[in-house]
């Protein structure tokens, strides 16, 4: 279970942590915090020192009903950040959180190594072709509609069955383009109610049938803070609990705001497996 990131082979047999770097002014938890160069680099340094294998840079907030961001704006937000990270910390494996092929292309040309697409190619017909040409790992997430419409589309007869069908189609499509390294993200919080999110988590091990690494993005999401009747700010303990559960159910990458705590989850989980 290795992925090739710019010639660097990363083994996902032991789980890894992906630190979230939102360079958006309106992200649901850390919006506006990392828009200045110094602050951004300090945060990257912190996440790397705490055990992040990947840094996921995003310039388009995909929270429910998030405002539309133009392609130019997204590029203006992320390219300088990617360039600065590569300059300061040249060995960093950068993932780019985008559903636009032009943004993906430009980011990889500037040093990014992974494309993380919330739409799995649904929002840009050129995405898979572009990823195949760039020969980078591709994270495909399950979502319906767009961030603007997804909340109204949380209707399923059998959510696990429908998601597995979705992924089987996406995997076949990605393979037909020639994408080698694929990672699946069940998309917690995307076109799913709180109850549906917990159903997906409770059956997460079923996605191992695809024989692909699974990324769990649970960090400080509403399924946690709504259940605990709190806010994203106070959802770290809940995040740690659900991260642990996702590891036990086969997740190989934890995508998080809080790297240290997630890395500790992985360390304890690894000890348990021994």
Is residue 160 exposed (0-12), middle (13-18) or buried (19+ Cβ within 10 Å)?
middle
Q: Which of 63, 100, 192, 255 is catalytic?
A: 255
Do residues 265 and 258 make contact, with C-beta atoms less than 8 angstroms apart?
A: no
175 catalytic per annotation: no
Please count the other Cβ atoms lying within 10 Å of the Cβ belonging to residue 72: 10
Residue 255 to residue 19: CA distance in whole angstroms = 6
Q: Which of 220, 221, 260, 274 is catalytic?
A: 221
Residue 96 to residue 12: CA distance in whole angstroms = 19
Region for 111 from its dihedrals, namely left if φ exceeds 0, alpha if ψ lies in -120 to 50, beta otherwise: left
Q: Do the strands 8-11 and 253-256 form a parallel or antiparallel pair, or are they unpaired?
A: unpaired
Q: Which helix (H) or strand (E) holds 22?
A: strand 16-22
Residue 164 to residue 142: CA distance in whole angstroms = 10
Query: Which phi and psi angles does 111 have, rounded to 5°?
Result: 120, -5
Tokens of 249: 């159910």
Tokens of 72: 């130019």
255 catalytic per annotation: yes
Please count the other Cβ atoms lying within 10 Å of the Cβ belonging to residue 13: 8
Residues marked as catalytic: 221, 255
């Amino acid at each position: 279970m290795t992925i090739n990131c710019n010639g660097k082979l990363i083994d996902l047999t032991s789980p890894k942590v992906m630190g979230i770097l939102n360079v958006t002014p309106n992200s649901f938890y850390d919006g506006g915090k990392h828009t200045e160069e110094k602050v951004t680099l300090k945060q990257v340094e912190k996440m790397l020192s705490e055990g992040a294998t990947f840094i996921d840079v995003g310039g388009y907030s995909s929270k429910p009903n998030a405002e539309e961001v133009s392609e130019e704006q997204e590029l203006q937000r992320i390219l300088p950040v990617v360039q600065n990270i590569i300059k300061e910390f040249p060995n960093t494996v950068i993932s780019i959180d985008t559903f636009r092929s032009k943004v993906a292309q430009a980011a990889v040309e500037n040093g990014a190594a992974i494309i993380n697409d919330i739409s799995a190619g649904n929002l840009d017909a050129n995405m898979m072709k572009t990823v195949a040409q760039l020969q980078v790992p591709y994270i495909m997430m399950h979502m319906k509609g767009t961030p603007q419409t997804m909340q109204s589309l949380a209707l399923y007869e059998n959510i696990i069955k429908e998601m597995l069908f979705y992924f089987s189609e996406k995997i076949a499509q990605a393979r037909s383009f020639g994408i080698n390294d694929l990672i699946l993200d069940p998309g917690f919080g995307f076109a799913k109610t709180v109850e549906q999110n917990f159903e997906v988590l409770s059956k997460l091990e079923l996605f191992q049938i695809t024989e692909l690494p699974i990324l769990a993005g649970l960090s400080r999401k509403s399924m946690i803070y709504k259940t605990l009747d709190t806010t994203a700010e106070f959802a770290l303990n809940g995040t740690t609990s659900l991260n642990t559960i996702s590891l036990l159910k086969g997740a190989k990458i934890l995508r998080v705001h809080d790297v240290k705590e997630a890395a500790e989850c992985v360390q304890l989980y690894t000890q348990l497996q021994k």
